[in-house]
Amino acid sequence: MNKIILNIFKVFIILIIIFNNGLVFANEISNGNNIFRSYLGLSPNESSFDLRDVIPENVVVRYQGVANNCWAFATVGALETTLALKRKKNGQSVKVFNFSEAHVKYGSRYDMFLNGQKNNKGLNLDKSVGGTFEQALNYMTNGLGPVDEKWLQYNPSEPRISLVDIESITPSVIVKNSVNLSIPPNSDESTIDALIPKIKTHIKNHGGLYFSLNYHRGDQYTNVNNKARYCDVPLRTNESPSHAVVLIGWDDNYSANNFTKNPGKDGAWIFKNSYGSYSDVEYLSYYDKTSYTEVCGFTDVEEEKNYDKQYQHQVLPPIVDFKVNKGPVISQLTVAEVYHRDRLDKRESIKRLSIMAQESGIYEFYINPKDNDLTKLEKVDVNKIYLRKGFNTVELDNQVELTGSDFVIAAKVPNVNGEFHISYQPTNRMQDYTASVSNPGETYVNYVDNSNASYWKDFVASGRGNSSLKAYVSYGDTEVVPTKIKMLSDPNKLEYIKDTEELDVTGGKILVSMSNGETVEKSLEDSKVKLSGFDNSSIGPKTITVDYMNNKTTFVVNVIDSPNQLISLTLKKAPTKVEYMINDTLVRDGGVLQATYSNGKSADISTNSSSVKFSSPNMSIPGTKNVTITYGGRSVNYSILVKERPIVLSKIEILNLPLKTEYVQDTEGLDLTGGKIRATYSNNNVLDIQMDSSDVTVSGFDNSNVGKNTLTVNYKGKSTNFDVNIVERPKAVINDAWILRKPDKLKYKKGEELDLTGGKITVNYSDGTNKIVSMDNEELVQYSNFNKSSLGVQSVALRLKDLNKLLSFDVEVVRDEPVVDQNKVLENKVIENQIVANQIVQNKITENKIISNNIENNKIIENKIISNSIIANNIENNKIAENAIISNQIIANNVESNKVIENQIISNRIENNKIIENKILENQILQNKTLENRVIENKVMENKVVENNIYDTNVIYENKVKNENVIYENSVQNNIAENKVSSNQVSENRVNDDVINENPNKNLDIFSDSKAEITDANNFVYTDSNKNYIEIEVNVSNINFGNNSKYNVKYYLAGSPSESISDDKYFEINKIDKQSNGMYLAKFKINSKDLSNLDEIVNSDNLYLYMKAENGVNVSKKVLLLNNVSKIKNYINNKKVDEINKDNLNKYKDNTVYNRILPQTGALPWFVIVLAIVAMIGIVSYFKFKNINK
């Protein structure tokens, strides 16, 4: 029995081994690429650290001189420490690294070369302009560098050189990975405190960091005694730091009292500068206000190149961040580069990829090694890797051999905080990118998560540039041979005596370019070097041909006459200039050498002769220098003195413009408050000075002419300029007015004209002045609301030209003639009067004043008006249309002095109207037309007014209607039958004199308050990727139809808010509900399968809804921003899952369909194999051990 148990246990052990092997097989992350190893829990606890204590040989302070190359020195300094520290940790011997900063500068620039040569891997910047870590990193990753100092020594004057000096040198090391720890400018202290441990970790594990800050040597923010710096002035908006250094350590206990201004906390970074003997190291407070915007370094660098060719489209800095928001339509972003192989006669295999990661996260990589088909991408062995922000190299576990003339590499970028990011090289439309070339068919972007070909978009054809995705290949077993050579250095001896001396090539070297892209040095004394062309039988220049394995180059020697051998050389007269300032150029003029020959003769040789050679003393350090002059193989010496340059003012520049830069013509004087200049001295010290200081003069201010006015700022012999703007003096306009004095005459007899004599108005103007004008100034003052025929108190309105304000005063018009007889209306004319379908029920009108009133659909039924008196009633611009008056009786109506002019009343409703004791006196109705009017048995009884809305204290009182109403000269041709007016009372009628009755057909802005949002989003993913789609549910709220809800509403989804949409592109919305606030809500769904513009939508950062509503008469349109839902629901083959990932795709896959091939088994074969093995072991064990106890 024990043996049975033992065998069962063995079976389980076998199963565990099988499943463990399966797990190892399924692991897709290469341990060699797990970058977390170096960063988890490794934040150093040391209170201080200094790389000088670890790798002192590679922490060397160099001198950048007067050129703005701190960025190149800082990048190279960081690189050298990374390499040295890596060797230290690997137990390798000490090696001193010294890379060429000059090569960094020239290699990063487009136009610094002789004979019009251009570097297509450089930016078109002037040599005086500084640079960035990003530019230096691009130079180090596009195949140009870095190279050793010996290939191009630093010269701060930066003369033009041959482009071959840049392009022909193989990089000395290969940058694999960089890191970017930068944070936004002026970040708060908590953000800085969180960054400090990360910087310490990098310095200790990977070496120095490139670090930018505002820095001017010896300014007021540096304690020059201990080189401690703290600047408390934050960076201005869009200001970049002025300098770059290398952080090499830290000291948490460095006292805050060591700084000229106390930062409030102890602690400082130790940094290496690039100003030579000015400082060994300096200290920078952790809390400097100008720092941390550029904190970059290297995490892995190789000392040897281990690939044969680099495929790249992007060769200039990929500074543009292409950002796409993750949403209901866009769920994944992939970038691909299509490359054409240069040579098909070689076997090429991809061994590594690289990409500039805009954000840290998990990246996936794919390759199609056969052709340029984007739908045939295959996952590489290591297809998921965590990359940090910066340049990253991905080593493949298994190289991928290229079999076609084209191949594709792709990277799926991570979702970081709901965003996808890709860096790319700008086009040549961007400033400084003159050399930028990107071609359609090279770079593509895919916006969905399953690499569906229908969604690939040509990135370059859409107006963008190439991405940073690159491939590195190795060749098969192919012999490496030289392809070209050039002279690296001439031999020491270039002059020979006729018939006497033989060729001596000691010191001569050539540079050999190999077929694998590398370059090597070879001595002219190498056994494979063949020399020809030397002939000492005749005097004159001789061209020597150098042949190295069938590659040729030349150099020239000179054969001179033999009798006169130079036996001695003396300095008869030293060159004129023997005193120099630091970094001056050595001058050869004025010197005379005396050469003595073997024949006893002597000759004077000018030191300017081309055959005379001078040594190169170090002019960057003061002191006495020895200069060697060589001629004909003989040498003499003389001394020069190099002195420190006197500190003089080099330049001034505008630091801050004055607060006031705009002035009113001929009005305001110059105000320099807030203006600052920066004075820079020859030792690079700076001084900031207020413009209104007594030492500063500002000239050129002239406010008499409108436009730009250039001012000149002078300080101690140096000048600079800035501009102010002179604007036209605005014309004074009336700002306000009020009545100063009323007119002399305020009481008038009926019929008298208004007299404004004596009236005064105070007018206030925009320039602050006041002016008194007469009321009778007809050019400036207009009056209204005076009726000389209307009795009673009247408020006369005054309006001033160009002022939207009414002034008023009261006058009184009194009767000056007897009262008109009762019941008489003389010369009553009603012309062009229309009253249409008006209904009035129980109407009250109190103190009614109606001006420009529109009444429509008016109907008066059985209206009785008794004793109605209306006195001096003025109704203007009133139109009454379609008015039906039935059974109307008017008894004893006295209408006097009433004037109705152009009266329009449309759609007027009057409710609860009562008119009591109404008296109309002196009524005159002009231009009234009444056609076919007949009045028979007219009675007004039981008058009702329904649904009348009139507000605000309209009172008509003392209404008297008397018998025997006589109308003369009235044309009546209107048939009115059975009109009765009886028992009608109209009293206390209230009418709002501001009521405006709008046309119901007027266009409404239906969507003015509308909002659009996604309320639900579903992502449907299928094993058959052609079925994939996204569906969103959208709500558009607060649609205002007014009183007419019979609108047809449509929508169109787009990625831009400024498109022209044709009517046939809109989709109709069928479901519209009324909201509680009286507005309407539209609900509808959008399916990605229905979108003909899907490519354009997924390429946009935002979504926009074009809304349209129409009812046959009116059309309203609006573009609404569509707000995204916070979470999307995911489905795999119609089963809901938390997220779309590999495990869920395997768990819920459909085994019946995969790329239309039946069946899809997935992991089923492995499961069957394991089951079969288990079954076989079980069966064998059973038959072998079933009789074990027998």
**Predicted pLDDT at 588:** 93
**Predicted pLDDT at 39:** 32
**Predicted pLDDT at 102:** 96
Among candidate residues 440, 475, 510, the one where a domain is terminated: 475
Shared domain check, 788 and 723 = no
Widest pairwise Cα distance in the chain: 160
Among candidate residues 612, 643, 674, the one where a domain is terminated: 643
Q: Which residue has the tokens 């395997």?
A: 1146
Q: How far is CA 1062 from the centre of its chain?
A: 31
| Strand partners of residue 737 | 763
- In-domain check, residue 114: yes
d(CA 599, CA 964): 160
- Determine how many CB atoms are found less than 10 A away from the CB of residue 431: 10
Distances (CA, A) of 374 to 311, 382, 902: 18, 19, 78
- In-domain check, residue 352: yes
**Predicted pLDDT at 1054:** 83
d(CA 488, CA 169): 11
d(CA 627, CA 637): 6
- In-domain check, residue 1147: no
**Predicted pLDDT at 1151:** 58
Shared domain check, 233 and 363 = no
What's the CATH number where 447 sits? 2.60.120
Shared domain check, 171 and 74 = yes
Shared domain check, 973 and 862 = yes
Question: Which residues, including other chains, have CB under 8 Å from residue 18's CB and lie 6 or more apart?
Answer: 1170, 1173
Shared domain check, 85 and 4 = no
- Number of structural domains in the chain: 9
- In-domain check, residue 819: no
Among candidate residues 298, 329, 364, the one where a domain is terminated: 298
- Determine how many CB atoms are found less than 10 A away from the CB of residue 425: 26
Shared domain check, 467 and 520 = no
Q: Say if CB 351 and CB 472 are below 8 A apart.
A: yes
- In-domain check, residue 1151: no
Helix axes 70-89, 133-141, angle to 10 degrees: 60
Q: Say if CB 664 and CB 729 are below 8 A apart.
A: yes
Shared domain check, 209 and 96 = yes
Question: Which residues, including other chains, have CB under 8 Å from residue 869's CB and lie 6 or more apart?
Answer: 894, 917, 918, 919, 920, 921, 958, 959, 960, 961
Backbone angles phi, psi at 103, to 5 degrees: -65, -35
pTM: 0.47
Shared domain check, 243 and 198 = yes
Shared domain check, 862 and 976 = yes
**Nearest residue to 269 (alpha-carbon basis) of 217, 192, 206, 205:** 192
Amino acid identity of residue 841, one-letter, is V
Could you say which residues of the chain have pLDDT below 50?
A: 15-44, 451, 453, 819-1002, 1099, 1153-1164
Shared domain check, 108 and 8 = no
Three-class SS of 449-486? CCCCHHHEEECCCCCCCCECCEEEEEECCCCCCEEEEE
**Nearest residue to 859 (alpha-carbon basis) of 934, 901, 910:** 910
- In-domain check, residue 463: yes
d(CA 1117, CA 1096): 22
- In-domain check, residue 133: yes
What's the CATH number where 1026 sits? 2.60.40
How many residues in the chain?
1190
Backbone angles phi, psi at 639, to 5 degrees: -110, 150
Sheet holding 482-489, edge to edge: 482-489, 509-514, 519-523
Question: Which residues, including other chains, have CB under 8 Å from residue 171's CB and lie 6 or more apart?
Answer: 140, 143, 144, 145, 146, 147, 305
d(CA 836, CA 858): 5
Shared domain check, 242 and 115 = yes
Shared domain check, 1123 and 1034 = yes
Collapse the DSSP code of 34 into the 3-class scheme (helix H, G, I; strand E, B; otherwise coil) and give the result.
coil
d(CA 2, CA 9): 10
- In-domain check, residue 632: yes
**Predicted pLDDT at 452:** 52
What's the CATH number where 517 sits? 2.60.40.3630
Show the domain range for 1182: 1-30+1160-1190
